[in-house]
Amino acid sequence: MSNQSSSYPVFFVSFNQDNSGFALSTKDGFKIFDSSTGRLCYERAVGAFGIVEMLHSSSLLAIVGAGEQPSLSPRRLCLFNTTTGTALRELNFLTSILAVRLNKKRLVIVLREKTYIYDANTLAILDTIDTVPNLKGLCAFSPSLNACFLAVPASTTKGSVLVYNVMELHSHCEIDAHRAPLAAIVLSSNGMYIATASEQGTIIRVFLVSEATKSYSFRRGTYPSTIFSLSFGQSMQFQDILVATSSSGSLHVFSPGFAINQRRGGRTSSILGSILPESVNEVLDPADHHVLRNAFPAGVKSSAVVRKVDNISASSSSEFLAYRASISVITYNGYFVEYIFSINNCCESTWTLDREFNLLTKRA
């Protein structure tokens, strides 16, 4: 997630494919951190960078500059080796690079009106996608080699999203998600689900990618708010959570799989739930939505991920009684905050601040 405003000291934040590490860039350079320990793993202070993408926990980075000098051009992609401190390969474009995504097989470059698909090993260009003007470089990517999808906006006037199969190199589907243009999209790591939010920011929708059908809708709030980030848990099943951060300074957790399983266990606590069909109740039940207000300063851009989810099972069966999630938040004013979110089998939740530190002053 890049920052187009100079009002923040942080230009760019991104987590790697399994959220075990993250990159942060400023006007002075970029840093690589270990998510679980907060340890500064690598630092390079050679000027401003607008994009720094990791490939798992390897020494390979995809970096794009944010400076005036040719070496930091926003039109040049550099594949950089942190072990040797040298550039391995470079790709140059006519317009600014707005987003980069990669896994072990594919490299995706998003420009304003084109998206390029490369073989990550040979850098041979495999396909070019003509897109609608994508001024913010909005995109989502599922790094799984078995279900590797890319999602980009399909309209500038409404919230339609194009889903593209990156491994098989063809368009998979187009989803009409919202009436208003898209503000945030994310794919689950296994490529099963896509979540979307519009510029209104009141409704978040989740779709099954294989069938392009809506699975869940969540109401974040009544009043419009900018959704800064969306992130699924890393589980291969949809039994964990989806998190969102908004301009109101709130951290939102949506837990559809867990809450629905508990209701199917036989009880519902609401009068509405006893009247409505189950399929409708799954959309409307507020038990699926948990909010931590004032999780970070209102108006400050942020990015959150589910770093880890621990399921708590009954001792005599495999039934999930609760889960505990570690949710990492990075704010563009330079802070790392991690909360522990816990939910029990009655859908009662608690939040605990686990750790917080300043990323800009962190030293190895």
pLDDT (tens digit per residue) in 134-157: 999 999 999 999 999 999 999 999
pLDDT, residue 217, reads 86
Q: Among 118-127, 131-140, 269-278, 353-362, whose mean pLDDT is lowest?
A: 269-278
- Average pLDDT (61-72) is 91
- As a whole-number percent, the residues of the chain with pLDDT over 90 amount to 73
CA neighbor of 301 nearest in space, from 246, 355, 356: 246
pLDDT at 269: 37
Positive or negative CA dihedral for 352, 322, 219, 306?
A: positive
How far is Cα of residue 115 from the mean position of the Cα atoms in its chain? 19
DSSP string, 15-32: E-TTSSEEEEE-SS-EEE
State residue 280's pLDDT score.
39
Backbone angles phi, psi at 99, to 5 degrees: -160, 150
Name residues whose C-beta falls within 8 Å of residue 247's C-beta, 6 or more positions apart in sequence.
201, 225, 226, 228, 298, 299
Confidence band (pLDDT; 50, 70, 90) for 81?
A: very high
State mean pLDDT over 117-134: 97
- Angstrom distance (rounded) from CA 15 to CA 13: 7
Instruction: Average the pLDDT over 78-99 and give the result.
Output: 97
Whole-angstrom Cα distance, residue 281 to residue 278? 5
Query: pLDDT for 219-248, tens place per residue?
Result: 888 888 999 999 998 765 544 689 999 999
Kindly report the average pLDDT of the chain as a whole number.
Answer: 88
- 320 pLDDT above the threshold of 60: no
Question: What is the predicted pLDDT for the residue at 321?
Answer: 62
Q: Which two tokens stand for residue 105?
A: 């097989």
* Residue 259 scores a pLDDT above 50: no
Percent helix, percent strand, percent coil in the chain, to nearest 5: 5, 50, 45
- Is residue 181 within 8 A of residue 159, CB to CB? The reply is yes
The two three-digit tokens of residue 264, written as one number: 């199917």
Please write the tens of the pLDDT for every residue from 12-45: 999 999 999 999 999 999 999 999 999 999 999 9
For residues 283-294, average pLDDT: 75
Residue type at 94 in one-letter notation: L
pLDDT for residue 284 is more than 90: no
Residue 107 structure tokens:
């490299």
Q: Does the pLDDT at position 294 exceed 90?
A: yes
pLDDT reported for residue 76: 97
Task: Please report the pLDDT score of residue 117 as a whole number.
Answer: 98
Tokens coding 215: 């699975």
**H or E, element range at 256:** helix 256-264
What is the structure's pLDDT at 282?
Answer: 43
**Average pLDDT score over residue span 184-213:** 93
Strand 125-130 and strand 140-141: pairing?
A: unpaired
Percent of the chain topping pLDDT 70: 85
What residues have CB less than 8 Å from 159, skipping those under 6 apart? 176, 177, 178, 179, 180, 181, 182, 196, 198
Q: Who has greater pLDDT, 178 or 236?
A: 178
Whether 314 has a pLDDT exceeding 70, the answer reads: no
Provide the pLDDT for residue 315.
59
**CA atoms of 144 and 150, how far apart (whole Å):** 11
CB 7 within 8 A of CB 38: no
DSSP 8-state assignment for residue 172:
E
pLDDT of residue 258: 55
| Angle value at C-alpha 55, between 232 and 100, nearest 5 degrees | 75
pLDDT band at residue 271 under the 50/70/90 scheme? very low
pTM: 0.89
List the domains of the chain with CATH numbers: 9-97 (2.40.10.480)
